[in-house]
Chains A and B, each alone.
Chain A
């Protein structure tokens, strides 16, 4: 069926998407909470920044990230000072880039879910002696759980489907940065249409199943 290099690419893709989704759950949740609750004038600019990857060509985002992570960029300086070396063309470079690229897919559904809760349950919790942190973990998070599920699935799927940013940041190193979408590109470049077909079909079926799951969940459990 699938060749070893195809399986390796799929394995790498799943690993990348899993790590990125995990990181974004931790990073995206406070951003979403802040965006849902704040009355600050920075809400608009921050919201727009978060949404940028939705409209920006991946090559533009990849280009800037490449510069930032390069030897003369701020992230590059930081990673070299920390003794990690430079991130471009490494797995963790892909992770950093994907975190930026998939940020809106995590933040927006979670933000919507937090907004849908409204002020009332949080006020009720306060009148029942729950501190803000207590309220966040025991009222806001459970009530927003469907939103987290949506966000997690979308983030994972979107990272799996990434191509442009990967090519800009990661290049095409087998087992390190060659994810499934790049592998298909390679197959096509090499005129290996049969191999391209197989892998493309896997991606198509995966994407469809993910979205099918998302759109057929019980309506009552959907908040985002």
Chain B
């Protein structure tokens, strides 16, 4: 990976220590996931230079932003980044339009890669330009804040739980805009979240944090399928599949989604054939059989191989990691079933998928 973000920080506060040494991809969306107090927001603030971590080193796509060994520390306002805070952070004394201008007019014209019109179209805020922040809804404020950050044409976009302060409806309102951001702009994003759903929907890369350190990190699909994740995350264990809409069956009102490990049928989707669709398969919705069930109501049956079996905190259950033609899957089954089927690494099985959660 030529373009990377290398971040090494150490923060010592009374009762809290952050210690990270991470190499992250310089493209796509990297989710920093963890519970409150895990240090994910502190990490983001260190990247932005809003906190000055001791013994820090930060290099973003070839540019050194911090190197305490050499006494280098770029102040926040000289780092080409965009930052969206958790709660509304618009300047109350300025109109939406002036808020949007604030960052853009402070960068030289030749560095402006994102145009004003593009940003307001992307976030759907054309109709809000003359309004005052006080008159906007929470969702509208965050959309303006995201557009404002984009207009500085950042080489890194930092989003600190931008949806956390919003109710479910407002979240649904913003998520599609974030996806468009991901699809249309080539700006690497660090996205702090404690919502597995947001992570599953948006991320390409996942960093799991707990108690100020990194527990696991890697590409989303692989990291989610690990068996050694912290218990709190394992309760919601499951994998994310990037699929393509392959066919529609209007008679049965079904759509077929293809991915590396096979095909899944879901209720008829509005998307055109060929569209990318991301879905989530929870471990609790996957059961295993040794022979393909012929007379079953379950449509989605995938051929897979057992890779490993891990313990679970919930009593009586185990988590089985599978490989379906290279694509990782997880199944949560009872320990008794695991013993009865004599499951072990290398064993070919049939994974029956009861439910597929579509992330759109």
A127 and B149 within 8 A (CB): yes
Chain B residues within an 8 Å CB radius of A126: 49-50, 75-77
Residues of B181-230 at the interface with A, using a CB-CB cut-off of 8 Å, are none
Q: Report the separation of the CA atoms of residues A139 and B152 in the bound assembly, to the nearest whole angstrom.
A: 17
Chain B residues within an 8 Å CB radius of A143: 91-93
Indicate whether A127 sits within 8 Å of B48 (C-beta atoms), given known contacts A121-B91, A143-B92, A143-B93: yes
Indicate whether A130 sits within 8 Å of B50 (C-beta atoms), given known contacts A121-B91, A143-B93: no
A142 at interface by CB-CB < 8 Å: yes
Interface membership of chain B positions 76-120, coded 1 if the CB is closer than 8 angstroms to chain A and 0 otherwise? 111001110100010111000000001100110000000000000
Contact of A127 among B82, B92, B93 (CB under 8 A): B82
A128 at interface by CB-CB < 8 Å: yes
A142 and B93 within 8 A (CB): yes
B77 and A124 within 8 A (CB): no
Chain A residues within an 8 Å CB radius of B106: 128-130, 134
Q: Report the separation of the CA atoms of residues A131 and B152 in the bound assembly, to the nearest whole angstrom.
A: 14
Select from chain A the residue with minimum beta-carbon distance to B145.
Answer: A124
A128 and B103 within 8 A (CB): yes
B282 at interface by CB-CB < 8 Å: no
Residues of A126-183 at the interface with B, using a CB-CB cut-off of 8 Å, are 126-132, 134-135, 138-139, 142-143, 145
A123 at interface by CB-CB < 8 Å: yes
Chain B residues within an 8 Å CB radius of A131: 77
Interface membership of chain A positions 110-128, coded 1 if the CB is closer than 8 angstroms to chain B and 0 otherwise? 0000000000110111111
Indicate whether A124 sits within 8 Å of B93 (C-beta atoms), given known contacts A129-B152, A131-B77: no
Chain A residues within an 8 Å CB radius of B50: 123, 126-127
Chain A residues within an 8 Å CB radius of B149: 127-128
Contact of B83 among A127, A130, A134, A139 (CB under 8 A): A127
B148 at interface by CB-CB < 8 Å: yes
Select from chain A the residue with minimum beta-carbon distance to B154.
Answer: A127
Select from chain A the residue with minimum beta-carbon distance to B48.
Answer: A127
Closest-CB distance, B226 to chain A (whole angstroms): 33
Interface membership of chain B positions 222-253, coded 1 if the CB is closer than 8 angstroms to chain A and 0 otherwise? 00000000000000000000000000000000
Select from chain A the residue with minimum beta-carbon distance to B81.
Answer: A127
Q: Report the separation of the CA atoms of residues A24 and B147 in the bound assembly, to the nearest whole angstrom.
A: 40
Interface membership of chain B positions 139-157, coded 1 if the CB is closer than 8 angstroms to chain A and 0 otherwise? 0000000001100100000
Contact of B77 among A121, A129, A138, A145 (CB under 8 A): A129
Contact of A120 among B78, B81, B85, B102 (CB under 8 A): B85
Contact of B148 among A128, A132, A134 (CB under 8 A): A128
Q: Report the separation of the CA atoms of residues A129 and B103 in the bound assembly, to the nearest whole angstrom.
A: 6
Q: Report the separation of the CA atoms of residues A129 and B89 in the bound assembly, to the nearest whole angstrom.
A: 15
A127 and B76 within 8 A (CB): yes
Q: Report the separation of the CA atoms of residues A213 and B103 in the bound assembly, to the nearest whole angstrom.
A: 37
Residues of B58-76 at the interface with A, using a CB-CB cut-off of 8 Å, are 75-76
Interface centre among B77, B85, B102, B103 (most CB of A within 10 A): B77
A residues adjacent to B (C-beta < 8 A)? 120-121, 123-132, 134-135, 138-139, 142-143, 145
Would you give 27 A-B contacts (Cβ < 8 Å), ordered by A? A120-B85, A121-B89, A123-B83, A123-B85, A125-B91, A126-B49, A126-B75, A127-B77, A127-B82, A127-B103, A128-B77, A128-B102, A128-B106, A128-B152, A129-B77, A129-B78, A129-B103, A129-B107, A130-B102, A131-B77, A132-B77, A134-B77, A134-B106, A139-B91, A143-B91, A143-B92, A145-B93
B residues adjacent to A (C-beta < 8 A)? 48-50, 75-78, 81-83, 85, 89, 91-93, 102-103, 106-107, 148-149, 152
The 3 A-B pairs at the shortest CB distance, nearest first, are namely A128-B103, A127-B83, A126-B76
